[in-house]
């Protein structure tokens, strides 16, 4: 029975579809009873449903593998699990290993933990450990002068001999982007092959030149020339 409080238009609609609903129920009940009587047909229906479920699973798995492959190769990184203050010794309890797409990882990120690793800057929970915010107990790092910005530069070619406190010119495509930049610290190779090799530097450049230097460094165009 249709409730009298239902609006007339809705009441007419419900009255019109009631036979359809009843017929669908009858067909569903008849089909179920037929399946119960015919065990072979029931098994066939179950087999078809199982095949559909399996096909759906394999299609989903294939799409997930394709999405993973599109990200390219992966690499292991170190992520802080606790807030770390400058000068704190970074122990195993302060970070965890994560796997990220190599294309999304900056060249300054640490891939393996080093003995005697010390925080050079405040590190927040979830922040990646890098050669910029960490160093070893023997690593020397200068303070950033006022009005300057620090930029990590990993040249495509071998670095000339240099040390902390040296001044370098930063060049890209034959143009001097920043002259007489100050070397704040040296970036060591953190791979298992040649640990300790200097692969880049952290330099201090005037704030107005930092964007151009950072852009050139990000695409690997920046090179360094030691100035007198």
Our count of domains for the chain comes to: 3
Q: Which domain holds residue 91?
A: 72-139
40 and 88 share one domain:
no
Relative to beta strand 134-136, strand 175-188 is unpaired
76 and 16 share one domain:
no
Q: Is the pLDDT confidence value at 194 over 70? A: no
Give Rg (Cα) of the chain: 33
pLDDT-based confidence at residue 73 (cuts at 50, 70, 90): confident
Asked if residue 153 belongs to a domain, the reply is yes
pLDDT-based confidence at residue 12 (cuts at 50, 70, 90): confident
Cα 165 from Cα 22, distance rounded (Å): 88
Asked if residue 120 belongs to a domain, the reply is yes
30-43 residue pLDDT tens = 777 776 666 666 67
Cα 147 from Cα 167, distance rounded (Å): 17
Asked if residue 31 belongs to a domain, the reply is yes
Q: Which residue has the higher pLDDT, 46 or 220?
A: 220
126-144 residue pLDDT tens = 998 887 788 765 555 667 7
66 and 88 share one domain:
no
Cα 177 from Cα 214, distance rounded (Å): 10
Nearest to 187 by CA among 221, 139, 115: 139
Cα 220 from Cα 224, distance rounded (Å): 12
Q: Average per-residue pLDDT in the chain?
A: 79
pLDDT value of residue 41: 67
Q: What percent of the chain has pLDDT over 90?
A: 8
pTM > 0.85: no
């Amino acid at each position: 029975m249709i409730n009298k409080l239902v609006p007339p238009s809705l009441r007419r609609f419900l009255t019109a579809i009631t036979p359809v609903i009843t017929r669908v129920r009858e067909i569903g009940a008849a089909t179920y009873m037929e399946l119960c009587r015919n065990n072979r047909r029931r098994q066939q229906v179950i087999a078809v449903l199982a095949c559909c479920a399996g096909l759906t699973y394999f299609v989903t798995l294939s799409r997930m593998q394709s999405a993973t492959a599109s990200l390219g190769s992966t690499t292991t990184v170190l992520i802080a699990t606790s807030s770390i203050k400058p000068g704190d010794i970074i122990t195993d309890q302060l970070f965890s290993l994560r796997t990220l797409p190599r294309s999304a990882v900056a060249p300054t990120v640490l891939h393996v933990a080093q003995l005697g690793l010390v925080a050079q800057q405040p590190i927040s929970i979830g922040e990646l450990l890098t050669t910029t915010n960490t160093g070893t107990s023997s690593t020397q790092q200068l303070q950033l002068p006022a009005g300057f910005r620090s930029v990590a530069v990993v040249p495509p070619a071998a670095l000339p001999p240099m040390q902390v406190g040296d001044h370098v010119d930063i060049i890209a495509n034959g143009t001097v982007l920043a002259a007489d930049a100050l070397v704040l610290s040296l970036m060591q190779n953190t791979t298992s092959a040649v640990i300790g090799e200097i692969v880049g530097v952290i330099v201090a450049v005037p704030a107005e030149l930092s964007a151009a230097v950072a852009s050139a460094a990000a695409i690997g165009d920046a090179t360094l020339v030691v100035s007198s």
